[in-house]
Amino acid sequence: MASIGNLHLGACEDDEGICHPTAIGCALLTPLKVDIRWSCVNGDWLVTAKKGLPYISARSRQQINFEETKHQGITALMQALDLACVQNNLILNLSKPGDSFYALYRDNGDFVLRFTDTLNFVCSMNISGQVRDRDGNIVPQPESPKPQWHRAFLYYRLSQLAADVYEAYRNLYLAFEALAESCYPRKENEREGEWIRRCFRELHTHHGLTSFAPHGHSAPNEYLFGTLYEHTRCNLFHSRTEDTILPFYEIDTTKIKNAYETLLRIWRYIACAVLKVNGGGGVITYEGYRHRMDSVFGQSIAVAVTDDPIPVKDSDTSISPGNHKVVTLSSCRYIGEIMPGLIGIEAEERNIQQLPTIHRIGLIANNVLLAATNIDFGLNLIGVDKFQFFFNQRLIQGSLPKVQF
């Protein structure tokens, strides 16, 4: 059956003779010291993990689509970790569930196994200049004004001290709110949502927010209001709706990570203009990043797999340093910008018989290895009809404060 190492996913009968058509698998921050097995989400999901293996899986007899597999599966995993914490004093958490996970589901009668992985592209710019007179002598410049303490700085520092992106976003939003109140005070009887919408409109009018929204968006201020306030702030601060963002129960943490980085860039941009804080190093705009990735990945690209177990290194020039057999997946497509600062590539293979137990996956263009990732303990595809690989690359501004938690 499909498995990560000896951890079952589904598509074939397991040790109890049950064939699960639906499953989710994620890496753990640390391997378990004991086996665990819990029935979760009203008994619809079976969660298992193996001693010494840094993975955990949830499988179900339901036949549901990919999005429901993600949603219900991650809930089952988190419920199992809650139970393991209370019952066995096992303090565990998933490792980057929104960035890297395995999903097994049925699609038009086929067993599809999708592996999604996200790598960070760290880029920074340092810009400096000098003023010289006509004789080439350096002209001393007046010292830049130093900022005075502002209460927004307190929330900003708490955001950078946060242990996770959820706590970080809460405090960064409070820093933004404190800054917005200084710039455009809330009017008497003005509803909070109306005030924040007005703040984004005023900020866009006076400072320009185009570079923080998707390319070509007709109303950057409305996009940012919807993304950062309505869909993130409100859902993170409140628990009364189904759209509530419950920390760690969200498998698609990419959205809140990108929201955090966007809000961080806006906060520092406005704070630099209004409160005279140091703007830091140069910043790669989302548009600049998109153009650069379009030129790199817009050419002929391919995804290759191998059973070579050698750990990936940044210095690798080959998908298989150990000279193992390499198989190129039959199709590969550059998706482009998924959201600001994030681009995607998808690849697919239906001839599963030719694929080995996958330990390494690499992205190749013109015979050059662009990126590679490991699957520790190997991914087995027994019983699967179609294998999909979704590769995402996220821009990380090396000159900006912390954005990874």
pLDDT in tens, 59-74: 999 999 999 999 899 8
Query: What is the CA 6 to chain-centroid distance, rounded?
Result: 27
- Burial of 325: CB neighbours in 10 Å, binned 0-12, 13-18, 19+: exposed
Answer for the pair 19, 13: CB distance below 8 angstroms, yes or no. Answer: yes
What per-residue confidence (pLDDT) applies to 319?
96
Per-residue model confidence (pLDDT) at position 288: 87
Which are the contacts of 106, defined by CB distance < 8 A and separation ≥ 6? 21, 22, 63, 112
pLDDT of residue 384: 96
**Can you tell me the mean pLDDT for 308-312?**
96
The confidence band for 93, taking pLDDT boundaries of 50, 70 and 90, is confident
pLDDT for the residue 296: 87
pLDDT at 144: 67
pLDDT of residue 280 exceeding 90, the answer is: no
By three-state DSSP, how is residue 200 classified?
A: helix
CB of 48 closer than 8 Å to CB of 57: yes
- pLDDT tops 60 at residue 127: no
Answer whether residue 254 shows pLDDT above 80: no
Of the two residues 56 and 284, the one the predictor is more confident about is: 56
Residues 76 and 97: their CA atoms lie apart, in Å, by 13
Q: Is the pLDDT of residue 246 over 60?
A: no
187 burial type by CB count under 10 A (0-12 exposed, 13-18 middle, 19+ buried): exposed
- Specify the pLDDT at position 126: 55
- Taking the C-alpha atoms of residue 131 and residue 269, their distance in angstroms, rounded to an integer, is 24
Q: What is the pLDDT of residues 324-342, one digit of tens each?
A: 999 999 999 999 998 878 8
The two structure tokens encoding residue 277: 């804080």
Q: Which of 372, 395, 225 is nearest to 304 (CA)?
A: 372
What is the average pLDDT value for the chain, to the nearest integer? 88
Predicted pLDDT at 249: 52
Question: What percent of the chain is predicted at pLDDT more than 70?
Answer: 92
Task: Tell me the mean pLDDT in the region 203-216.
Answer: 92
pLDDT at 148 over 80: yes
Is 90 exceeded by the pLDDT of residue 351? yes
Residue 344 has pLDDT above 60, yes or no: yes
Give Dmax (Cα) for the chain. Answer: 86
In order of 110, 137, 213, 260, 324, the CA distances from 94 in angstroms are 28, 58, 30, 20, 31
Instruction: State the pLDDT at residue 323.
Output: 95
86 has pLDDT over 90 = no
CA–CA gap between residue 158 and residue 213 (Å, rounded): 26
pLDDT of residue 318 exceeding 80, the answer is yes
- Kindly tell me if the per-residue pLDDT of 125 is higher than 90: no
What was the pLDDT predicted at 243? Answer: 60
Residue 8 banded pLDDT, cuts 50, 70, 90: very high
Task: Specify the pLDDT at position 281.
Answer: 55
Which residues have a Cβ under 8 Å from the Cβ of 178 and sit 6 or more positions away? 150, 151, 152, 155
Closest CA to 359 of 324, 330, 386: 324
Neighbours of 386 (CB within 10 A): 17
Predicted confidence (pLDDT) at residue 242 exceeds the cutoff of 60: no
Enclosing H/E stretch for 182: helix 165-183
Q: CB neighbours of 125 closer than 8 A, spacing ≥ 6?
A: 281, 282, 283, 284, 399
Under the banding of pLDDT at 50, 70 and 90, the label for residue 401 is confident
Residue type, 306: T
Q: Where are the domains of the chain?
A: 1-104, 108-127+286-405, 151-280
Closest C-alpha among 37, 50, 134, 43 to residue 80: 37
Lowest average pLDDT, out of 30-39, 122-131, 243-252, goes to 243-252
In the predicted model, what is the mean pLDDT of residues 126-151? Answer: 75
Q: Tell me the sheet residues that pair with 333.
A: 346
